Amino acid sequence: MLTVEKIKQKLDLKKLPKPVMVIDSETILDRFKKLNNLIDGVELFYSVKTNPHPEILKLLKEAGSGFEISSVEELSQIISMGVPRDKIISGNTFKMTQLIAEAYRHKINYFAYDSIMEADKIAQNAPGSNVYLRVVAADESSEWPLSKKFGAPVSQALDLLKYAIEKKLNPNGLTFHVGSQCLNPLGWSNALATMAEVYFLAKKNNIKLEVINLGGGFPSRLAKDIPQFDSIKANINKTINKTFPNEQLKYYIEPGRGLVGEAAIFVASVVAVAPRGPENWLILDVGVYNGLLEAAAGIEYEIVSDKQLNGLNHKDNLRPYNIGGPTCDSWDTIIKGYPLPEELNCGDIIYILNTGAYTNSEVTCFNGFGQPAIYII
């Protein structure tokens, strides 16, 4: 995990532009290794949308990672790096037809689907392709649920597999997503039990599936406690051994947040402090529109001021702040009632920890603030 101490050892903070996102290569490689050992023989496809910084993609390509893409732009970025076609899959179940056609042109033939219309689009634009069916998984323990929009119910799964065959596609796998930032160490095991229902029903109907893709959802450290990676890993392996003991299956994962989340810190600075009745507002140079979009939908980051880290009486004298970003919009609020030192002044440094996931990939140009600087260490 990237720490403020490490940033201070490697960079002179006074000389850096603010706000700046510092990304740590070592943490990414460490996480890649861990996730790549989740299950014996697992194949890892990094979910590019999480953080498509070219240096991250290069690092992961060199480490042997595959990539999960969802748009023509992501596909072009990965293709231009010379990633082989069997290392690219698309997990988006609502693909633009241009993406399917463009992927097919590059001989990529592995697509997720969860509806009749998606199967039709794939059959039309990438005939004969391998497809994997996304089945809905329980996601109530995740901070970022996905199961309302994505995933076919178990009751429709067999019909959708049969439909793909009718359309001359090759349904060869199942996938699920437990929701991003899943806080239940049993989330994946429970979903695997659901996949087993579909897998064995398909087998009974002479549809032999070869791949189970466990998607993403692996958490990174944020304000709330997260389950231990080792406990998630043990539960997954126990369930696989118990549920599929004699099946010849390959396992894929598509992690995003769990791979890059803890690899970055936003180094921000105070723009202003203002009392509003009983509350105090702390305005930073980074906010919802220029890097912390998920904060507006409930993701809570750990935030710490340089003054606290330096001691100097600032550890005890804390007061709650509503912390906002720099734009002229009150929706630009990162968190409310967060304890930080009483004395904060314009220019003071504030760190927002573990911000490697869904941050710089979700920056808007609102109010002209745009993309904060990025340093890779």
Is the Cβ of residue 258 or residue 287 nearer to ligand PLP in the bound state?
A: 258
- Our finding on whether 91 is near ligand PLP (CB under 6 A) is yes
- Our finding on whether 252 is near ligand PLP (CB under 6 A) is no
Q: Is the dihedral of CA 58, 61, 67, 69 positive or negative?
A: positive
- Could you tell me how many residues of this chain bind ligand PLP (CB under 6 A)? 16
- Our finding on whether 291 is near ligand PLP (CB under 6 A) is no
Kindly report the backbone phi and psi dihedral angles of residue 258, in degrees, each rounded to the nearest multiple of 5, phi listed first.
-70, -20
- Our finding on whether 218 is near ligand PLP (CB under 6 A) is yes
Closest by CA to 31, choosing from 63, 70, 74, is 63
The DSSP code for 369 is -
Is the Cβ of residue 94 or residue 281 nearer to ligand PLP in the bound state?
A: 94
- Our finding on whether 145 is near ligand PLP (CB under 6 A) is no
- Characterize the bridge pairing of strands 303-305 and 349-352: antiparallel
Whole-number minimum distance, CB 358 to ligand PLP, in Å?
A: 7
Do residues 226 and 219 make contact, with C-beta atoms less than 8 angstroms apart?
yes
Structure tokens, 3: 């720490």
- Our finding on whether 217 is near ligand PLP (CB under 6 A) is yes
104-129 burial code (b ≥16 CB/10 A, e <16): beeebbbbbbbbeebbebbbebbeeb
Residue 16 CB contacts under 8 Å (≥ 6 apart), including other chains: 267, 373, 375
Whole-number minimum distance, CB 206 to ligand PLP, in Å?
A: 28
Q: Looking at 24-32, 71-79, 211-219, 331-339, which segment touches ligand PLP (CB under 6 A)?
A: 211-219
**Interactions with ligand PLP, residue window 337-366 (CB under 6 A):** 357
Is the Cβ of residue 7 or residue 112 nearer to ligand PLP in the bound state?
A: 112
Neighbour tally for 291: CB within 10 Å? 30
Among 66, 215, 287, 326, binds ligand PLP (CB under 6 A): 215
- Our finding on whether 255 is near ligand PLP (CB under 6 A) is yes
Structure tokens, 71: 């748009």
- Our finding on whether 254 is near ligand PLP (CB under 6 A) is yes
Query: Which residues lie near ligand PLP (CB under 6 A)?
Result: 47, 50, 68, 91, 177, 180, 215-218, 254-258, 357
